[in-house]
């Protein structure tokens, strides 16, 4: 179901990208100028790039996963990277729920969007979107 989706990288803002696991390649990271990766999986290791900052969010892909526990930490990290002129990629396995939920949280906290606006902004950049609460 998610095969093609997992290999795509959505350009959410000038400094924020969203993807599934298959898009997390050195070529994509270097090509997009990404300086920080938020890995929102328990399952996957971080890509071994010494010049890229990482934040590992070990949240399971379950509707009951406590992803909201990480909203502030991830939002603050994305903002910190933005202030330094960097770019952040937030990914999970498929790029449609865990990572998307974290991007929505950032857009609400730092860009002043409502939940509905943030949802539709990301939905307009991706093919699928299933938010966790």
Highest mean pLDDT, choosing among 56-60, 61-65, 84-88, 117-121: 84-88
**Residue 92 annotated to the active site:** yes
**How would residue 4 be classed by pLDDT, with cut points 50, 70 and 90?**
very low
CA distance 110 to 74: 11
CA distance 52 to 127: 27
For the chain, the structural domain boundaries read 3-123
Which CATH number is correct for 3-123, 3.40.50.10800, 3.30.300.30, 3.30.70.3290, 3.90.190.10? 3.90.190.10
Catalytic residue (choose from 36, 46, 92, 103): 92
Highest mean pLDDT, choosing among 1-5, 18-22, 101-105, 123-127: 101-105
What is the pTM (predicted TM-score) of this model? 0.88
Mean predicted confidence (pLDDT) in 71-96: 94
pLDDT in tens, 108-119: 999 999 999 999
Name the residue among 129, 115, 110 with its Cα closest to residue 8. Answer: 129
Mean predicted confidence (pLDDT) in 45-66: 88
What are the backbone dihedrals phi and psi of residue 17, each rounded to the nearest 5 degrees, phi first? -125, 155
Cα separations in angstroms, 128 against 8, 29, 36, 54, 109 = 11, 22, 23, 25, 22
Mean predicted confidence (pLDDT) in 53-66: 90
CA distance 85 to 3: 32
Q: What pLDDT does residue 2 have?
A: 41
Name the residue among 91, 83, 76, 72 with its Cα closest to residue 19. Answer: 91
């Amino acid at each position: 179901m998610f095969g093609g989706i997992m290999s795509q990288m959505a350009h959410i803002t000038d400094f924020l990208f969203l993807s599934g696991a298959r898009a997390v390649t050195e070529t994509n990271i270097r090509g997009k100028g990404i300086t920080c990766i938020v890995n929102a999986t328990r399952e996957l290791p971080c890509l071994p790039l010494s010049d890229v900052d990482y934040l590992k969010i070990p949240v399971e892909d379950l509707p009951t996963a406590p992803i909201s526990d990480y909203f502030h930490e991830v939002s603050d990290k994305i903002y910190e990277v933005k202030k330094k002129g960097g770019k952040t990629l937030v990914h999970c396995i498929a790029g449609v729920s865990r990572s998307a939920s974290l991007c929505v949280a950032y857009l609400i906290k730092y860009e002043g969007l409502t939940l509905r606006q943030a949802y539709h902004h990301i939905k307009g950049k991706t093919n699928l979107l299933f938010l966790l609460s």
